[in-house]
Amino acid sequence: MQILVLGGAGYIGGHTSVVLTERGHQVVIADNFSNSSRAAVARLEQVVGAPLPLHELDVRDSVGLERVFSQYRFDAVMHFAALKAVGESCKKPLDYFDNNISGTITVLRAMSEANVRRLVFSSSATVYGDPEQVPVREDAPLQASNPYGRTKLVMEQLIGDLCTADPNFRAAVLRYFNPVGAHPSGLIGEDPNGPPNNLMPFMCQVAVGRRERLQVFGDDYPTVDGTGVRDYLHVMDLARAHVDALDYLCNKDRSVTVNLGTGSGVSVLQMVKAFERAAGKAIPYDIVARRLGDSATVFADPGLAHALLGWKAEHDLDAMCRDAWRWQALNPQGYGSIIQPD
C-alpha cells in the first residue's frame, strides 16, 4: 500500500516508516521539520536502502496537503505530526491547540476530499490523566491534565465523530505509553531539541557527557522504591504495532482504539540500573522534588491490542536501554553528529 506518513521525520514516525518499508509498503513522508531535520530522513533512507519521497509541509496548510494528495494514490495516512512537550503546552496552549487540533482537522478534511479513508493516529496514555486504576484499560475514564493532553483527547473525539458520520472512514487510535529505544542499527533514534523532558534521552545525554547529572523527580511515591513507575516500550515494537493496526483497518474493516505498552511497570531507579548495565557506566543522579503533574504509577493493560491486532511487545528493558545507548554513543550530538563510515 502507499502510505502518507505525516511527521515521518520524527522519532516514532521515522521508525514506523522503516517497518512499513520492510513490510512492503511505499512510504511518502511529509513534515515541517519543527522538531526534526532532513538529516533524519537521510538516515532513514540509509536504513531502508532506498530513497523516500519527502515533502516539506505543515499539516495546517490545506493547499499544500491537497497538492500532496493529488500527486499520489494513498491507501492510508499515519498521522504523527504534533507538538508533544507537556510543560511547553502549559505555557503556550494556543500553539498546541492550533498545531495539533487545527492540524488534525485539516488532515481529516484533506483525506475526505481525496477519498482516503484509513487513518492510524498517534494518541497517548496522557488521555487517562492520573489513572484511578492500573493496569489501565481502554475503557478507563478519560481526562486531560494539561493542554497537550487536551489536544490528544479532542483529536480522539474528532476522529470518533468522523467515524460516526462517515460509514466508510476507519481509524486506529493508538494510545502509546512510554516509547524509548532506537533502531538496532544505531542510525536513527530520539534527538530532542534542548534539554530532554523525558527520562531515557536525559540518561543518554548524561552517559555521553552532554549533561552532568540526572535529576530523579521524587522518591516518596507509593511505589517499590518511591520513584515514579511507567510502562516503557521499545520504539521498534511500537512501530510494528502501527503496521499491524493498518492491517487490521484494511482486513477487518473496523475502527479500533488500543493501548500500546508492555503491561509492566518500571520505576525510575530500576530504569537507571538497567541503563547503567547497558551503557557500562554509572549515571550520577540527585533525588529532587516531584515534578508537577506526574503520576505515581502508570502502566497499560495491553490485552486488547493483543486480542485485536495480534500485537505484543517483544523487546525487554535491557534491549530498550542497549539500543537507546547505541544510538546515543554513535551520535553524541544526535543527527548533528558525523558518523564515520565503516
Active site residues: 148
The reply to whether 10 sits near ligand NAD by the rule CB under 6 A is yes
Query: Residue 99: which of ligand UFG, ligand NAD, none does it interact with, CB under 5 to 8 A by kind?
Result: ligand NAD
Taking the least distance from each CB to ligand NAD, the nearer of 99 and 267 is 99
Beta bridge partners of 180: 234
Query: Residue 264: which of ligand NAD, ligand UFG, none does it interact with, CB under 5 to 8 A by kind?
Result: none
First to last CA, the chain: 34
Taking the least distance from each CB to ligand NAD, the nearer of 198 and 226 is 198
Site map (CB under 6 A) of ligand NAD, residues 174-203, x = contact: --x--x------------------------
The reply to whether 320 sits near ligand NAD by the rule CB under 6 A is no
Q: Which helix (H) or strand (E) holds 63?
A: helix 62-71
The reply to whether 59 sits near ligand NAD by the rule CB under 6 A is yes
Name the phi and psi angles at 283, rounded to 5: -105, 105
Task: Could you list the beta-strand ranges (E) of the chain.
Answer: 2-6, 26-31, 54-56, 76-79, 118-124, 170-176, 178-180, 214-217, 229-230, 232-234, 256-260, 266-267, 285-288
Taking the least distance from each CB to ligand UFG, the nearer of 124 and 262 is 124
Query: Residue 326: which of ligand NAD, ligand UFG, none does it interact with, CB under 5 to 8 A by kind?
Result: none
Contacts of residue 83, defined as CB under 8 A and 6 or more positions apart, other chains included, come to 34, 35, 89, 95, 96, 99, 100, 148
Q: Quick one: which of 197, 211, 264, 319 contacts ligand UFG (CB under 6 A)? A: 197
Taking the least distance from each CB to ligand UFG, the nearer of 170 and 230 is 230
- Nearest distance from C-beta of residue 340 to ligand NAD, angstroms: 25
* Per-position b or e across 262-278, b if 16+ CB within 10 A of its CB: bbbbbbbbbbbebbeeb
Alpha-carbon distance of 253 to 173, in angstroms, equals: 14
Q: Quick one: which of 33, 72, 97, 217 contacts ligand UFG (CB under 6 A)? A: 217
Contacts of residue 214, defined as CB under 8 A and 6 or more positions apart, other chains included, come to 199, 202, 203, 206, 272, 283, 284, 285, 286
The reply to whether 12 sits near ligand NAD by the rule CB under 6 A is yes
- Nearest distance from C-beta of residue 196 to ligand UFG, angstroms: 7
Q: Quick one: which of 1, 42, 48, 58 contacts ligand NAD (CB under 6 A)? A: 58
- Nearest distance from C-beta of residue 342 to ligand NAD, angstroms: 27
Q: Quick one: which of 55, 84, 234, 240 contacts ligand NAD (CB under 6 A)? A: 84
- Nearest distance from C-beta of residue 101 to ligand NAD, angstroms: 11
* Per-position b or e across 57-92, b if 16+ CB within 10 A of its CB: bbbbbeebbeebbeebebbbbbbbbbbbbbebbeee
Residue whose entry in the numeric block shows the C-alpha cell 502518507 = 4
| Residue ranges binding ligand UFG (CB under 6 A) | 84, 86, 124-126, 178, 197-199, 202, 214-217, 228, 230, 268, 291, 294
